[in-house]
Structure 1
């Protein structure tokens, strides 16, 4: 090494790169950002990333040779999901005039050179500014689906990185690096439940993880799929994948997508995250993804808890304000992981119920699509059970034909048997039925107790005037439901009140509003109900 480099360290290089004179194109402004592993310099229309000379165990940038290797890897790997962004690796040199880029001096470090993108084009900004379009989400999904298809690992690697044992070990390793939260009893209880829910999910779903391997869902993924890394700039551009450790990229595609969905949840855009996931399932036919997504979102949120904990531990003792900010964000991620744990600890019986034409099936269909869970519809079961009737249209008087109390009892029995089969496999279900009678609701509550499921009765409430308008519109339509305006008064009179249901399981929802608003209300309210029920089960 050059004799004048005896005082060289990373700090002097960073100081030099904050000056416009360092760069051949002399940018008007330099913005310096940093992470715990890199220094990033926004220099006009270019970005230069320099790796810090650190060895953290899971990554090693401690030597010049290793930093060069991983700079090259960063460019190679990120070019998979970008176009004209990663421009190459530049030599950082030293000569008598000091540091420079690609001068004739001695090479002392390397920088990844990139075209600069605007923050206004990130998915994060688009979400916050309400500018995300369905078209962009579809393009993003297709980009990721094509990427995963081209990145499937060989069988030996799939078995190694996607195995039930490997996933369990990842979870245990993550838990081992968490703070003990001894000073906060509430947080400590949340961690205990998250650990218990993780173990329960793993114990119940070994076959599911094995099936993920068999169906080629273990891939060389992005590894750090967050909203701030996704851009709408001359097409979909996805930056900043993990280059420093391939074991962080070799994983289930569900884990990769879970990071993105979790990030969207954290920002407050859960309906958008569910929309993205449901569209991905639709175009890829990855029917199992939604069964593991909450598990992986919980894992990803707890990884963020660990990362913030490590950052807090490394902070100077006098930096109280920044430490308090990090503690707050760490606890936000813990709360998010807790919400996921509540959902994955026990399957959920969703019951969309209430008056005819109140929107039960519309809500049920949307929830079934978002969660990718079975939609068990009483109207369809009734037609199947009584298909031998001379007139199976069902257009008869109130409680006549296939709508007698005895016939309805058979329909609800079949509905419960069908639901039980799904619940025993660990899947949540949606029961779409009026549930006019208290006994019908009590039978569903008993099923929840028998299968250790959580349950939410979504009572669809709609003004009678709107219901009658909808029923009138049905007169000239072919619908699965046979309920018509002529049945309204008798059905309204026969409807038992829902006040026997506790607030822990009952969610009244107004359904004379846009469907997206209804779904957002349901998704916002589910956490509190599931938290109460899971707490009761946990003693």
Structure 2
């Protein structure tokens, strides 16, 4: 189920001599006159020119893939381009021959009677600064980019064919044991032995206690053809959006995986890069646009396994600092956390409910914090439209509003029962909505709080006037109707005329108090 490109492979044989092909690819004439930069990995030789990257698969046979002959490498090049078609068709331009003839040589468009030395994948080159890990390091990864990536990832997963006949539980069990064994073998540090064993036991316990959920996900078609390697270095900013590249191609067992496990790689790496807030936002946008809140019980395990894999890859590459940090994350991700909390955030349009929810959700108990369910987004999802697509007033009649609140409650119940905290974000102005909120809190019987965001009318009006593309369709006319309704009784008022971080700190303190009560 997993590809560890950086790990030390089990080399079985070496076949074709690629010396001449490497000489051709190193020739500046092949790259428009510029001397290319060469990068060697365990699987490939990559030549970076000013505009294009040429990727040559190494003539080696590993225990997990055979690149031993020119014919096989050609086939795998074609498979790589095909595997990345759904992810980065703009970057992957095609497969081209490396050729020689009478002292001449080149890449692509070989003359008649030319000798084909090998094959390369031609890709558009992008700057390293566009890679997602660099964007994070430079504080250039916005929430809007995360939302767009979540939308595209959800659509790719939705449209990918379901894979049946995979024993997901057995595959996960095998992989957990493999990760633990290989980390132990790769790091060569006896001091880590007990920690590795403890991690293995915790991961297996989580897996076995959720066997029914694992079996259910496989039966319901959530094993699909995925990317398989969506860590931050394999995401790039392209035309103002994040896209994945370098999808795995050489073994369906590496990519025919649970869609949530595919997502977990990006989530884990964002946490590793100290952006838990963006990981939480990615998770919530993905769950919202797919309208699928099942399987959250497995999120801890999946995030932990992904961190273990990155630790393992680093150990085999001879690193120490980064792998240790990844392994620590693997341990932390699988650790138990306090039980779920239910937080309901109400307020009139413009009060900053979503801003506050996004600040507080990553800090609440859960594998990656709380699941944030927003009425404005759920309404659009139920109608099959994008969250930012405007709706007419007919979709905001009383009956439609109550149906959205009922749908929120249903999804919230599933989330909390999975062990994750939940934040509900809606106006909660009508008495019927408030009754749904109270009934939900009583039914779930977990620590809960109902917070009402309070601000002067003129502040609300100014915020609405300044609002850009958003899932909320509220305008000043809607606000005037809301102002005619009283504040709900029994909700804790929070002043939101302060800086958002101050309001969030107050709400976090409130949540901590209800947990300790």
TM range (shorter): 0.5 to 0.7
* Aligned position for 2:199: 194
Which entry has the higher C-alpha Rg, 1 or 2? 1
The range that moved more, 218-227 or 133-142, is 133-142
- The Cα of 1:237 is off from its aligned counterpart by 3.3
* Aligned position for 2:331: 338
Distance change (3 Å), C-alpha of 1:177 and 1:421: same
1:427 aligned onto 2:416: no
* Aligned position for 1:166: 171
Q: Unmatched 5+ residue regions in structure 1? A: 1-6, 313-325, 353-358, 376-418, 433-454, 461-465, 489-510, 527-539
- Aligned with 1:9 (options 8, 14, 17): 17
* Aligned position for 1:446: none
SS in 2 for 1:288: coil
Query: Counterparts of 2:372 and 2:82 in 1: how far apart (Å)?
Result: 42
Distance change (3 Å), C-alpha of 1:306 and 1:115: same
Query: Counterparts of 1:420 and 1:152 in 2: how far apart (Å)?
Result: 29
Q: Unmatched 5+ residue regions in structure 2? A: 1-14, 344-351, 374-411, 425-445, 461-482, 513-517
* Aligned position for 2:159: 150
Which structure has the higher relative contact order (CA within 8 Å, separation 6+)? Answer: 2
- The Cα of 1:169 is off from its aligned counterpart by 1.7
SS in 2 for 1:100: strand
1:284 aligned onto 2:276: no
1:11-59 per-position Cα deviation (integer Å, ceiling 9, x unaligned)? 45334422203x1x52323111122111111112111000011222111
Summarize the alignment of residues 98-497 of structure 1 with structure 2, pairs less than 5 Å apart: 99-101=105-107, 102-103=110-111, 104-153=113-162, 157-160=163-166, 163-180=168-185, 183-185=189-191, 187-234=192-239, 235-312=241-318, 326-342=319-335, 345=336, 348-350=339-341, 366=361, 371-372=369-370, 427-429=419-421, 478-482=486-490
Conservation of the 8 A alpha-carbon contact between 1:51 and 1:111: yes
Query: What's the TM-score once normalised by structure 2's chain length?
Result: 0.65
1:424-443 per-position Cα deviation (integer Å, ceiling 9, x unaligned)? x66244799xxxxxxxxxxx
Conservation of the 8 A alpha-carbon contact between 2:370 and 2:420: no
The range that moved more, 119-128 or 251-260, is 119-128
Query: Counterparts of 2:361 and 2:271 in 1: how far apart (Å)?
Result: 19
Distance change (3 Å), C-alpha of 1:214 and 1:517: farther
Summarize the alignment of residues 56-95 of structure 1 with structure 2, pairs less than 5 Å apart: 56-95=62-101
Query: What's the TM-score once normalised by structure 1's chain length?
Result: 0.63
* Aligned position for 2:500: 514
Query: Counterparts of 2:286 and 2:413 in 1: how far apart (Å)?
Result: 28
Conservation of the 8 A alpha-carbon contact between 1:220 and 1:250: yes
SS in 2 for 1:84: coil
SS in 2 for 1:195: helix
* Aligned position for 2:401: none
Query: Counterparts of 1:477 and 1:110 in 2: how far apart (Å)?
Result: 70
Aligned residues: 392
What CA RMSD, in Å, does the superposition of the two structures yield over aligned residues? 4.2
SS in 2 for 1:158: coil
1:214-270 per-position Cα deviation (integer Å, ceiling 9, x unaligned)? 332110001111223223323553211001111100000111111111121222212
Conservation of the 8 A alpha-carbon contact between 2:296 and 2:415: no
Query: Counterparts of 1:294 and 1:516 in 2: how far apart (Å)?
Result: 30
* Aligned position for 1:392: none
